[in-house]
Amino acid sequence: MDIVALRVFLTVAEAGSFSVAAEQSYLTQPAVSKRVAALERELGMRLFDRIGRRIHLTEAGQALLSRARTILAEVDDAKRSVMNLSGRLGDTLSMATSHHIGLHRLPAALKAFHTQYPSVRLDLRFMGSESACEAVAQGELELAAVTLPLRAHPELEATAMWLDPLTLVIAPSHPLATAKKTDAATLLAYPAILPGPGTVTRELIMSAFRKKRRDIAVRMETNYLEVLKMLTSIGFGWSALPQTMIDDELKVVHIVGINIRRKLGIVTHAKRSLSNAARAMIQTIKETR
């Protein structure tokens, strides 16, 4: 089976479009269609249904999709293993990071890496921590700098880099801003602005209130911490933010017994070889954190 055609098929399936896949693969659209058609002839089955401008995986396409990911991940792993023997760093390093970590934790490491290894093209993608972990597990990315999962993942290896305490905050204009002390019940009488459901940060915040978590009234949700800060600062509700983001635009709320800490770090695939470039990036992050 043609590995290039298989890679093109995977790109089309994930993009949901031949034209988008062509852009991502640096090929013309006819070239993409030709490779998919050749793969369909080899298998003797259609892989996509083309309905108007939309395409959908057929049953055969669905069956091939997971196998294609596994095959291509093994091919990439083999290439990395061989290249590692030469000591070369390779041409591209694909990694992801959350917006917060990318803005507040990685700049020094990225600058140092680019200075020391200018020949390596960094394919850096900004996405939610949960999506980034899944991309590493699927073999789409080599590593990710993210909020670490609360539970172990069989396909992932997590290395903590930073302890990131979260602080309860309100606007200076909030009714509780002038209170000398408060408690959880009093705070929860007001609406909250939190990260979306399913995120590690949301779960940590909710869990910190234990049984009272059921009393939390969430007014708004966003996974961008900078937006959470802005909405909190103008009085939309209370939230919990990293201490590195606290400034005069916010008022800290201290509640006895409420301690929220999340771990930030590096996630890699537990069963696949890391490229020399990935190893160099991880070492650079350790040295600059």
For residues 81-90, average pLDDT: 70
Cα–Cα distance measured from residue 48 to residue 92, given in angstroms and rounded to the nearest whole number: 30
Q: pLDDT digits over 222-266, tens only?
A: 999 999 999 999 999 999 999 989 999 999 999 988 999 999 999
Cα–Cα distance measured from residue 241 to residue 1, given in angstroms and rounded to the nearest whole number: 50
pTM assigned to the model: 0.72
Read off the tokens for 12.
């089309």
pLDDT of 273 > 70? The answer is: yes
pLDDT for the residue 179: 87
pLDDT for the residue 87: 67
pLDDT of 150 > 80? The answer is: yes
Cα–Cα distance measured from residue 222 to residue 227, given in angstroms and rounded to the nearest whole number: 7
pLDDT of 176 > 80? The answer is: yes
Question: Which part of the chain is CATH 3.40.190.290?
Answer: 163-261
pLDDT for the residue 279: 92
Read off the tokens for 277.
């470039």
Which H or E run includes 164? strand 156-170
Q: pLDDT digits over 49-82, tens only?
A: 887 777 889 999 999 998 898 888 888 878 777 7
Q: pLDDT digits over 192-210, tens only?
A: 999 999 999 999 999 999 9
Q: What's the CATH code, domain 89-162+264-288?
A: 3.40.190.10
* Contact in structure between 49 and 16 (CB atoms under 8 Å): no
The residue type found at 34 is K
Rounded to the nearest 10 degrees, the angle between the axes of helix 3-15 and helix 18-25 is 130
Q: At the topology level of CATH, where does 3-84 sit? A: Arc Repressor Mutant, subunit A (1.10.10)
pLDDT for the residue 197: 93
Q: At the topology level of CATH, where does 163-261 sit? A: D-Maltodextrin-Binding Protein; domain 2 (3.40.190)
pLDDT for the residue 84: 67
pLDDT for the residue 14: 87
Cα–Cα distance measured from residue 227 to residue 134, given in angstroms and rounded to the nearest whole number: 24
Q: pLDDT digits over 13-49, tens only?
A: 988 888 888 888 888 989 999 999 999 999 999 999 8
Reported confidence tier of residue 124, pLDDT bands at 50, 70, 90: very high
Question: Which part of the chain is CATH 3.40.190.10?
Answer: 89-162+264-288
Cα–Cα distance measured from residue 266 to residue 97, given in angstroms and rounded to the nearest whole number: 9
Q: What is the average pLDDT value for the chain, to the nearest integer?
A: 91
pLDDT for the residue 259: 92
For residues 158-187, average pLDDT: 94
What's the chain's Rg over C-alpha atoms? 23
The residue type found at 268 is T
Of the chain, the percentage scoring pLDDT greater than 90 comes to 70
Cα–Cα distance measured from residue 269 to residue 109, given in angstroms and rounded to the nearest whole number: 21
pLDDT of 148 > 90? The answer is: yes
Read off the tokens for 206.
């909710």
The residue type found at 215 is D
Which H or E run includes 50? strand 48-51
* Helix ranges, 142-224 (H): 184-187, 200-208
Question: Which part of the chain is CATH 1.10.10.10?
Answer: 3-84
